Structure 1
Amino acid sequence: MELKEPFLWGSATAAYQCEGGYREDDKGESIWDVFCHSEKNNINAVTGDVASDHYHRYEEDIRMLKEGGQNAYRFSLAWTRIIPKGTGKISQAGIAFYKRVLAACKKYGVTPLVTIYHYDLPQPLMEIGGWENREVAEAFADYAQVCFEAFGDEVRHWVTINEPDYDTMCAYAVGNYPPNVTDMNRRAKALYHMLLASAKAVSRFRKLQAKGMIGLVHAPYPIATLQDDLAYREAAKNADLFYNRCIADPTITGWFCDDLFVKLKESNIDLSFIKEGDKQCFMEGTVDFLGLNVYERAVVKPYTSGETCLKINNTGKSKDKTSIIVKGWFELDKDSEVKRNPWGMEVYPKCIYDLLYMMKERYGDIPFIITENGIGYYDKLENGQVHDPYRIEYLDGFIDWMWKAKEEGIDVRGYFVWSTMDLYSWINGYEKRYGLVYVDYEDHEKRYPKDSYYWYQKKIDEKEGKEL
């Protein structure tokens, strides 16, 4: 169902990263609760127990968001607040909390975009195999239906799952997210079941005749090479399958492309988890829109040698370099001409324009929402102020290139900065800050708008043609 409405200008958070309230009411434990309290959490040994304390300060955060000129807020629901053990008993306290968040959105005239799942699987479901267990896909559909029925009167923009690609890559290939393993066979199975879960949830949404739009959030990359020959073109095609088409094809068209199956079989990936009737499920669960989390390009080169190995810089230290080799597919390359942040992420704003055109040419007129775009840095609070010109430069370029694509006819319906306020950045901890608002973790999570917060308000006015 298409909605005619103003462009969504907002910012985004995720439940585990900002809420805190670790033991509030009858919340269950997620895989991140368990991981962050374990010896495996040895890179940045901090937890999300308090995080940004959004559980208690959600109204302040939504009010500040609105005062900063934003008209939309993307946030996620914690499965463990709503169904503490993942299946079974529903927590009325959890339902009531998110009702309060939605009421605050309504009070301040903010449109909610609600993500049902953002990395935080209930621990009891991990103990039966997590996303590798097909039963978890059905459990997710049950959970999604509870959300549709509980919040359907207040929500018109739904996301099933955030970044199934990046989530499973970190969990099962890099090994820095729980369950902290490196096994591409296990990754393929978990990713497939996550996509199946999304399709099942979309099907439930439609059977309920729920109002609004439902989509999935993908983190694709425009693929670039530093040379142009047959080997580099093949590497780019393989990287496109690995990063992009494995998610967007089944989500938008209803099934995977043949080229992907060919590469998986060449890599000896066991596909026995695909069952008869699944294709029909995917066909019935295609999305109304696709959320795009856009941060940078993937610059790739041909595979040379060695086993599959994926490493990500989680510390911001130059010695901890991101390195990706996918055996028989491609390797990550580096463009030395492009500026980067301390974690090695490119600052290349035109990539959002390139990506939108790539997606438009491949998938036609499906609506897109930029559900995340932002950059992490070591921000400093000085005399109650945070000067972050690097963030302003980054966001300014991305917004301009996105707006250019929109004006040229690509159906972009919204843009969300990552993130609303500083929060727990997964295994990167708290030093890597993305927020438009600074959170002082040493002083009761006190909030301080950054320069970028005020700049974003003016940028929105500029794009909407308002008097400055």
Structure 2
Amino acid sequence: MFERYQGKVNYWLTFNEINMATFLPQISIGSKAEAGENQEEIMYQALHHQFVASALATKAARAIDPENRIGCMIAYAPVYPLSAKPEDVWSAQRKEEEKLFFSDVHARGYYPPSKLAYFATKGINVAFEQGDEEILAAHTVDFISFSYYASSAASFAQSGVPGEGNALMGEKNPYLAESEWGWQVDPLGLRVALNTFHSRYQLPLMVVENGLGAVDEIVDGQIHDDYRISYLRDHVKAMRDAIVLDGVDLVAYTSWGCIDLVSAGTGEMAKRYGYIYVDRNNDGSGSLDRLKKDSFYWYQKAIASNGEDLD
């Protein structure tokens, strides 16, 4: 692929949302432990192979075209402590480190001491082949990319009121509104995320997924999705603040997604993210006709003005 698109494509991601293996190992890495096997060890061994493969892909990309830039991609939701209790703060910090482990290996080229200590405590043995450490260290990524939909919260003593989004959501945050699928809407959380990555790595950043899944209704041949426009506007403003006020090196943004499609998280067509409506229902019925939503015209104007015109 690097040869096929040489001179045409210069920005590459190796594994999409690589950290989802910790939440959905069967889907993400095809990992299914048999009785008596250590699922975590199997998962981390598979992830190690992905880390090495990513580093080797980075090496190959640069050899083929020195203009190529390679990045990692993780699913990210910043973790807030549910309260000011030290135990909750500690729990949030631990969960944050679990997520950043993946970008640490890609960007720094080695396993952080906290993860090695975790392996030792849990009796997890990740086999390194000869040369793996050198490969990881020599071929780190040029930028960090991530998906952001919502923030999460953590408590040392589980409250029993989990967030209803996906596997990243954690505890329900009482200070945030939710989407129809329980995703906690938090534009400021995107600014938090950008600052976290910027402070930790000082690498260019890309937000490569961000959007609102919602039920859309056709009224007189139109879809007035002001709720989606509001979500996107607030998140674009948060990115602008991160760039202008915080000095974050954010180089790209792509929303999810431009056209309605089956949501991977729930397997529903009714959970729509696009600016373009597709006449398709959960049961498979529908004409597949397309219809531009109000958000289509808003986003068209927003990107044409490079985020200056958000009205």
Query: Would you say the 8 A contact 1:164–1:195 is kept in 2?
Result: no
Q: TM-score normalised to the size of structure 1? A: 0.59
Residue 456, structure 1, aligned to residue 299, structure 2: yes
Residue 418, structure 1, aligned to residue 256, structure 2: yes
1:157-306 correspondence runs (5 A): 157-166=11-20, 168-172=21-25, 179=30, 181=32, 183-244=39-100, 246-271=101-126, 273-302=127-156
Q: What CA distance in whole angstroms lies between the structure 1 residues aligned with 2:308 and 2:167?
A: 43
Deviation at 1:225, TM superposition (A): 0.8
Deviation at 1:391, TM superposition (A): 1.3
Query: Would you say the 8 A contact 2:258–2:275 is kept in 1?
Result: yes
Aligned pair in 2 of structure 1 residues 261, 391: CA closer, same or farther (>3 Å)? same
Deviation at 1:322, TM superposition (A): 5.8
DSSP 3-state at the match of 1:421: coil
Higher relative CO (CA 8 A, sep ≥ 6), structure 1 or 2? 1
Question: Could you say which residue in structure 2 is the equivalent of 1:358?
Answer: 196
C-alpha RMSD over aligned residues: 2.7
Among 431, 438, 446, which residue is 2:289 paired with? 446
Question: Could you say which residue in structure 1 is the equivalent of 2:36?
Answer: none
Q: What CA distance in whole angstroms lies between the structure 2 residues aligned with 1:445 and 1:403?
A: 36
Query: Would you say the 8 A contact 1:379–1:433 is kept in 2?
Result: yes
Query: Would you say the 8 A contact 1:294–1:352 is kept in 2?
Result: yes
Question: Could you say which residue in structure 2 is the equivalent of 1:428?
Answer: 266
Question: Could you say which residue in structure 2 is the equivalent of 1:384?
Answer: 221
Where do 5+ consecutive residues of structure 2 fail to align? 34-38
1:84-99 correspondence runs (5 A): none
Where do 5+ consecutive residues of structure 1 fail to align? 1-146, 306-310, 314-320, 325-330
Q: What CA distance in whole angstroms lies between the structure 2 residues aligned with 1:158 and 1:322?
A: 26
State the AA in 1 paired with 2:106: T
Deviation at 1:231, TM superposition (A): 1.6
What's the % identity of the aligned pairs?
Answer: 28
Q: What CA distance in whole angstroms lies between the structure 1 residues aligned with 2:77 and 2:209?
A: 13
Residue 374, structure 1, aligned to residue 229, structure 2: no
The number of equivalent residue pairs is 298
Question: Could you say which residue in structure 2 is the equivalent of 1:397?
Answer: 234
Q: What CA distance in whole angstroms lies between the structure 2 residues aligned with 1:362 and 1:178?
A: 27
DSSP 3-state at the match of 2:4: helix
Query: Would you say the 8 A contact 2:31–2:43 is kept in 1?
Result: no
Query: Would you say the 8 A contact 2:216–2:225 is kept in 1?
Result: yes
Query: Would you say the 8 A contact 1:461–1:467 is kept in 2?
Result: no
State the AA in 2 paired with 1:437: I
